[in-house]
Amino acid sequence: MAKRSSDELFQLIKSLGKAEKRNFKLFVKRNQATVDLKTTTLFDAIDKMEEYDEEALLRKVKSLKKIQIPNLKASLYRQILASLRTLRDENNIEIQLHEQMEYARILYNKGLFQQSLKMLQRIKDIAKTYHQTTFWHQALVFEKKIEQLHITRSIQNRAEILSVEVNTLNERLSLVGNLSNLSLQLYSWYINVGHARNAKDAVAIREFFSSRLPPDAHLTKGFFGRLYLYQAYCWHALILQDFRMYYRYAQKWVDLFSDEPHMYRVETLFYVKGLHNLLLAHFMLRNHRKYDETLALFEAFSNTDESNANDNTRVQTFVYLAIARINGHFLKGTFTEGLHLVSGIEEKLTQFSLLIDHHRTLVLYYKIASLYFGAGDAEKAIEYLNRIIHWKVNLRSDLQCYARLLHLIAHYELGNFEILEHLIKSVYRFMAQMETLSVVEEEIFRFLRKAFQLDSPLRLRSAFVILKEKLEKLQESPFESRSFMYLDIIAWLESKIAGIPIQEVIRRRESGLKR
């Protein structure tokens, strides 16, 4: 696992590319002073570090004094940001609008009111085209200020026109704000808890959703209003494991961009996340043809300029594409073939270690562990599961639980019966404390307690058959299905009963369902 440093300056320096570092050096030379020379020295020293260590820094650079470090770091941080600001991103609409707003203020301060108003109108036109309502609002507020303070005679009935425009925009902002709040709150619930664990969770989520969904939400017409509405429905359906509804709104989410192609470069990450959710919906519904089509669309998009516009888009595209590729192998039962992805994923996780959040790293570790387990390599699966179990991150309690459950089964596969009883008790305690123990998990624990004591293959096979029959009856339960999403326990049991690899079981099963 790559080490992370919490030092913000270190993170910023490590995020810079070669061109950005060169631009910083040129920027400092243009504003050269003694303090700048010290910040350059500090920059070079930190840039060479693998992990931030202030004591080692002071030992290495004798000219720096401990008392100077806080002020020098703050100065260097500001200088780097200032240098980055000089690198114009011609494709970034928000940066363009910020710049034009600055021009409008400069013109206003020069007393050139008509030119300022002309610039503000240009800002509003661009903002309307790209659905940047906050910039539109800023331009309106500035226009009102100019009209209130000066006699511009720019247009008759200006006061009435501006008032109507402001009122209309405020209504839109209010609706979009409420929908974005609902979407964010539902997503936060999913990140921290996962799927609804029981009827109490389901009732709470339904009540929360219905009480906060604006009554006129179905009338929403703007891009962002519809985007947040579709997201809210997506998270609501995903939490409740209503995968048909999840698919319906994930498709609407992606279609928004097809309807307005100019939004690909403005909100690239929302499109990438929409593709991720659409792929996940197809995966849950076992829709092979649609999965392959959407994955091909994602693969093609990953090579576009929009997808590679900056580190942020590159990182998020990598994470979601890696998950999609692995899930494709899960869907087809080609676990062994999928192992070729692991080295590339590990390389990217190291490269982007400061930029990828803990939650997505955990998800990738679990996916890789499941890939190894499905390929029959329980030892490698345990290696990745240990990274999750021993990483003290308070996210995705459901993922932590199923990592422990798969970890337990992997040890059973290896015949590590001497530690199995201890592991069963440990996992049971953990899951009971999390209040996530399901009937499926109870049955698995009950089986594993007895299985390693069975003294003949015939009795053991009979126990596998009994457990499989019990779990198949539970598979359609809305609150038990989450157990099968994280761990295809039925496929594992079938492999033990038939004496064939898990991936062969899945290939045979999916060949009958493929459509």
Residue type, 402: Y
- What is the predicted pLDDT for the residue at 417? 79
Alpha carbons 209 and 309: distance in angstroms, whole number: 35
Same domain, 75 and 102: no
Torsion angle, alpha carbons of 335, 338, 341, 346, to 10: 0
Q: State which amino acid sits at residue 462.
A: S
Of 60, 85, 110, which residue constitutes the final position of a domain? 85
135 plus 179 within the same structural domain = no
| 71 and 128 belong to one structural domain | no
178 and 134 share one domain: no
104 and 54 together in one domain? no
pLDDT of residue 338: 94
**What pTM value is reported for the model?**
0.80
Q: What residues make up the domain containing 228?
A: 170-240
Q: Does residue 112 form part of some domain?
A: yes
In a domain, 426, yes or no: no
Specify whether 145 is located in the same domain as 197.
Answer: no
* Per-residue confidence (pLDDT) for residue 511, from 0 to 100: 74
17 and 80 both lie in a single domain: yes
Counting the structural domains of the chain, the total is 3
Domain contains 72:
yes
pLDDT at site 427: 79
Of 240, 263, 278, the residue at which a domain comes to its end is 240
If asked whether residues 77 and 114 sit together in one domain, one would say: no
Q: For residues 79 and 97, state if they share a domain.
A: no
Report the pLDDT value the prediction gives residue 172, as an integer from 0 to 100.
84
Helices 158-193 and 223-239 meet at what angle, rounded to 10?
20
Q: Are residues 98 and 128 in the same domain?
A: yes
Question: Is 14 found in the same domain as 81?
Answer: yes
Angle between helices 18-30 and 34-47 (to 10 degrees): 170
pLDDT tens string, the chain, 515 residues long: the values are 445 556 888 989 988 888 888 888 888 877 765 556 778 888 998 998 888 888 888 888 888 888 888 888 998 998 888 888 877 666 688 888 988 999 999 998 888 888 898 999 999 999 888 988 889 989 988 888 887 776 565 556 777 778 888 888 888 888 888 999 999 999 988 877 778 878 888 999 999 999 999 888 887 888 999 999 999 999 999 999 899 999 999 999 999 999 999 999 889 999 999 999 999 999 989 899 999 999 999 999 999 988 988 888 999 999 999 999 999 999 899 999 999 999 999 999 998 888 888 888 988 999 999 999 999 999 999 999 999 888 876 655 667 878 888 888 888 888 887 887 788 788 777 777 766 667 777 777 777 777 666 556 667 778 878 888 888 887 777 766 666 666 678 888 888 888 888 888 888 887 765 43
Report the pLDDT value the prediction gives residue 41, as an integer from 0 to 100: 86
C-alpha span between 224 and 176 (Å, rounded): 7
What are the CA-CA distances from residue 293 to residues 272, 328, 338 (Å)?
15, 11, 19
Residue 159 forms part of a structural domain: no
pLDDT for the residue numbered 36? 61
* Domain assignment of residue 137, yes or no: yes
Q: Please tell me whether residues 81 and 97 are part of one structural domain.
A: no
Domain boundary among 55, 85, 115: 85
Whether 233 and 188 have beta carbons less than 8 Å apart is answered as no
Evaluate whether residue 382 is within a structural domain: no
* pLDDT in the model for residue 484: 66
Instruction: Look at residues 253, 280, 281 and name the one whose alpha carbon lies nearest to residue 267.
Output: 253
For residue 409, is it within any domain?
Answer: no
Query: Is 246 within the bounds of a domain?
Result: no
